[in-house]
Chains A and B, each alone.
Chain A
Amino acid sequence: DVKVTQSSRYLVKRTGEKVFLECVQDMDHENMFWYRQDPGLGLRLIYFSYDVKMKEKGDIPEGYSVSREKKERFSLILESASTNQTSMYLCASRLGYEQYFGPGTRLTVT
């Protein structure tokens, strides 16, 4: 059974703070993804990675960076959090065509 976990379910940070969101998968998947979920906007891709130390920008990368030092772990970094980054963040990993999602982190930036 595929397992994708995220470090926090809820997170509250202040404007300007550096924020790390961690995602771990246990199925040796090569591809991992970070999405942002906002009502009415669906799931928007921030960054994805197809191998260790490899990354590609998604549709909304501005204000974010990522790190993939190990195959199982993909981190999303908000260098200086802003209130417009308040959102639900979902990580996913891929096997074949199916993407397996983590439980999500609801981030509030005040």
Chain B
Amino acid sequence: GENVEQHPSTLSVQEGDSAVIKCTYSDSASNYFPWYKQELGKRPQLIIDIRSNVGEKKDQRIAVTLNKTAKHFSLHITETQPEDSAVYFCAATPEAAGNKLTFGGGTRVLVKP
């Protein structure tokens, strides 16, 4: 089955700096890669996703990149703000698995004012 590894496990950045979280996956059949954000005490929520036919996707201050050859994908947050402090999860799935997502271990991001 799919295995997703996520790094780093914790990340502390100064407000205004950029944050980068990296994930690798094992199943070359995976073709959908979402990112979820979980604020303290709240439920995870989808913030951005990318499909394998696209190499990069942006939404305001966040962007995801995908390298299918190397089987890794990354989340980039620019101009970080205190409200970006949260745990971020990457995930991967092949469509044939019926959206059975395999999640990474999570990255706790702390944005210091």
How far is B112's CA from A51's CA once the two chains are assembled, in angstroms? 45
Q: Which of B13-21, B57-65, B67-75, B101-109 contacts A (4 or more CB under 8 A)?
A: B101-109
Q: Taking the complex as formed, is A64 at the interface, i.e. its CB lies under 8 A from any CB of chain B?
A: no
- Inter-subunit contact A48/B100 (CB<8 Å): yes
Q: How many residues of A contact B (CB 8 A)?
A: 23
Q: Taking the complex as formed, is B98 at the interface, i.e. its CB lies under 8 A from any CB of chain A?
A: yes
Q: Taking the complex as formed, is B52 at the interface, i.e. its CB lies under 8 A from any CB of chain A?
A: no
Nearest B residue to A43 via CB reads B103
Q: How many residues of B contact A (CB 8 A)?
A: 23
Which residues of chain B have C-beta atoms less than 8 A from A4's C-beta? Answer: 43
Q: Taking the complex as formed, is A61 at the interface, i.e. its CB lies under 8 A from any CB of chain B?
A: no
Which residues of chain B have C-beta atoms less than 8 A from A55's C-beta? Answer: none
Q: Taking the complex as formed, is B44 at the interface, i.e. its CB lies under 8 A from any CB of chain A?
A: yes
- Inter-subunit contact A97/B98 (CB<8 Å): no
Of the candidates A90, A94, A102, A104, the one whose C-beta lies within 8 Å of that of B99 is A94
B-contacting residues of A (Cβ < 8 Å)? 4, 31, 35, 39-45, 48, 50, 58-59, 90, 94, 97-99, 101-104
A-contacting residues of B (Cβ < 8 Å)? 1, 4, 6, 9, 32, 34, 42-46, 49, 89, 91, 98-106
* Interchain Cβ contacts under 8 Å between A and B, 24 examples: A31-B98, A35-B103, A39-B106, A40-B105, A40-B106, A42-B104, A42-B106, A43-B103, A44-B103, A45-B100, A45-B102, A50-B98, A59-B1, A59-B102, A90-B43, A94-B99, A97-B49, A98-B49, A101-B43, A101-B44, A101-B45, A103-B42, A103-B43, A104-B43
